[in-house]
A and B are shown apart, each in its own frame.
Chain A
């Protein structure tokens, strides 16, 4: 199984809502990532979890809150988002989390903030 799954596929939320994005992998990878991608731009790294510990937080606003309940699951909790947070949110996983690891990406969640 070389698949990273993400739910939901699409999400529309208001600025006062609380929602969560979910990511799952069963490849035995110990590193998981959240990226934000705006249209026609490369993915921007948000968070990296390595062995279920947050190892990188790229100065992401606190309205984004990651959680890694176990090595197969990664959540991104959203609260009080702004319209400029609308984007494609990609999850990825890799073997250990080093910068030379091959990262495997999920299909993404298309988030629209009204």
Chain B
């Protein structure tokens, strides 16, 4: 069963516009949630993570994400997108039983001037 879903394969936004990337997970307990960004031909960079506590998490580069248990979601947001944000974004889930770590299929972000 798929543990993490990113429903949007590709999103295009205008520079300066707000952004929300969706991530849904399936897990009975509270998962450990991550957002990574990957620029073309590069490795993955951690944007932010949620383990427990405050459900609104601040990350690097002006990104934030909100954990919503009722919706099994961990959506990534940015109030004003910059051209340099164009990249592939991966949501990931770590389950604290066993040794399972899952990446979502990714969302490709295009930023237009």
Q: Say whether A and B bind each other.
A: yes
Check if B106 sits within 8 Å of A100, measured CB to CB: no
One of B11-19, B40-48, B64-72, B77-85 at the interface? B40-48
Is there a chain A Cβ closer than 8 Å to B74's Cβ?
A: no
Check if B44 sits within 8 Å of A105, measured CB to CB: yes
Is there a chain B Cβ closer than 8 Å to A81's Cβ?
A: no
Tell whether A42 pairs with B105 under 8 Å between CB atoms, given A88-B41, A100-B32: yes
Check if A98 sits within 8 Å of B99, measured CB to CB: yes
Interface size on A, residues (CB 8 A): 26
Check if B96 sits within 8 Å of A100, measured CB to CB: yes
Interface range, B side:
20 to 34
Contact with A along B71-113 (1 / 0, CB 8 A): 0000000000000000010100011101111011110100000
Check if A101 sits within 8 Å of B94, measured CB to CB: yes
CA distance A110 to B51 in the complex (A): 32
What would be 14 A-B contacts, judged by CB atoms less than 8 Å apart?
A4-B43, A40-B106, A40-B108, A42-B105, A42-B106, A90-B44, A98-B96, A98-B99, A99-B99, A99-B100, A99-B101, A100-B51, A103-B46, A105-B36
Beyond the given pairs A43-B103, A102-B46, 19 more chain A to chain B contacts, judged by CB atoms under 8 angstroms and listed by A's residue number, are A40-B108, A41-B105, A41-B106, A42-B103, A42-B105, A43-B44, A45-B101, A55-B99, A92-B44, A99-B98, A99-B100, A100-B32, A100-B95, A100-B96, A102-B34, A106-B43, A107-B43, A108-B41, A110-B41
Binding site for B on A (CB under 8 A): 4, 6, 40-43, 45, 48, 55-56, 88, 90, 92, 97-108, 110
